Structure 1
Amino acid sequence: MKPEFENIPLIKNDAQSRFQITVDGYTAFILFQERDKDISLIHTESPEEIGGRGVATALIEKTLIYLEQHNYILAPLCPLVYAYIKRHPEWKRIVREDFKDKF
């Protein structure tokens, strides 16, 4: 993760079912569905005003760290999250068993 994003807090916004970070007044988010400790990441969105800077990647990294720290099992339905885990296979450790063979 780029150093400029390290100190930006990740917010788990349960009311809107999303993880989010705010950079320069713009909010990037990942929509999720959760049942107990099983969570699906569905869609990642980053405003074009902060696009191309690595914000979405930082958001994904922060979210995966949060999920691991809170003992979630992940279903990576979002194509960006899936692609990130494919490039960083060490994160398969938190992926639900029925998804692991897709990487």
Structure 2
Amino acid sequence: MPFAIRHDRAAHRFETRVDGVSCLLDYTLASGVMTITRTEVPAAVGGRGIAAALVQQALATARAEGWQVVPACSYAAAWVQRHPAYHDLLKP
């Protein structure tokens, strides 16, 4: 299921609404390094791949911007480990 994900650059956040429920991914950005600090998908809309879509969009943005990524959030870290196509973005 595709989700309409919005990137709020000023707030360092990716967000979408599903069935009226707000879902988000927060990050910090310093010296070209995106640190994903939190993904939040309430249980009411969980299990639909929303968190995965948020992480994938964040990583696509990082790639387009030339940023390295630190997945500090446990969900994002686990997702990246399962998707080797994004390992090149990881900050050594």
Do they superpose with TM above 0.5?
yes
SS at match of 1:16: coil
- Select which of 44, 52, 58 maps to 2:47: 52
Question: What residue ranges of structure 2 are gaps of 5+ in the alignment?
Answer: none
Q: For 1:1-103, list aligned pairs within 5 A.
A: 4-5=1-2, 8-97=3-92
Cα distance in 2 between the residues matched to 1:15 and 1:52:
29
Give the superposition deviation at 1:82: 0.5
**Greater fraction of residues in helix:** 1
| Cα RMSD (Å) | 1.5
- TM-score (norm: length of structure 1): 0.79
Percent identity for Structure 1 against Structure 2: 25
TM-score (ref. length: structure 2): 0.87
Aligned pair count reads: 92
Larger radius of gyration: 1
